[in-house]
Amino acid sequence: MREFGLTGGIGSGKSTVSSLLADRGATIIDADAIVRRLQQPGELVFEAMVDRWGSNVLCDDGSLDRAAVGQIVFHDSSELDALNAIVHPAVAAETSRLVDAVKDTNAVVIHDIPLLVLPGGELMTSRDHQHWGGIIVVDTPEVLAIERVMASRGMEREAIVARMDAQASRSDRRNVADFVIDNSGDLDQLTAEVDRLWDWIGEAS
């Protein structure tokens, strides 16, 4: 087994790259999907969040109200720390379980982690990146990323820009990259970039 990190800003095309890598046989471990799963009612992270914030973070149907959580942590760094202390260890444990399942195979494991690079360029500390074969960054001019997210998710430009401003910059991510995927072209060009990446992963073995 070999492990790599994959990251990119909102609208960079990271999910598209992830699925092109899955088509080529990579095992994708999707951090956001793990968080969503663990935030289902009855799951570990859900229970810990309700313990801390009570019914303030619940929708009428008993599911987690993500927008309410966002409101609580957005302006208060101690609440954000508390959220991270709940989420990160649980996600790390689930990730280890998924990695263990393929550790004796020749799988190429891709850790798809949107927030791997923190603002300023540090790496998220709760991940075992010392053992990875490299960090892959999907790099896209902001103007294109904004247009693509507006078209695909119907988000407002201001909301996308606010998200970008709160996250690592393009150069923060590029500075830690071992491989940069340029997604400034069309989807055919992105596919060619992923082929170039897949060759690089093969050579890195």
The SS3 assignment for 110 reads strand
The answer to whether 187 contacts ligand ADP (rule: CB under 6 A) is: yes
The answer to whether 7 contacts ligand ADP (rule: CB under 6 A) is: no
Closest distance between ligand ADP and the C-beta of residue 175, in Å?
A: 19
Q: Considering beta carbons, is residue 158 or 186 the nearer one to ligand ADP?
A: 186
119 phi/psi in degrees, rounded to 5: -55, 130
**Quick one: tokens of 79?**
């609440």
The answer to whether 39 contacts ligand ADP (rule: CB under 6 A) is: no
Helices then strands, counting H and E runs in the chain, come out as 9, 5
Count of residues in contact with ligand ADP, rule CB under 6 A:
16
The answer to whether 177 contacts ligand ADP (rule: CB under 6 A) is: no
Q: How far is CA 160 from the centre of its chain?
A: 16
- Integer Cα distance of 175 and 14 in angstroms: 17
Stretch 147-166 residues interacting with ligand ADP (CB under 6 A)? 148-149, 152
47's enclosing H/E stretch is helix 44-53
Residues engaged in binding ligand ADP (CB under 6 A): 8, 10-16, 148-149, 152, 183, 185-187, 190
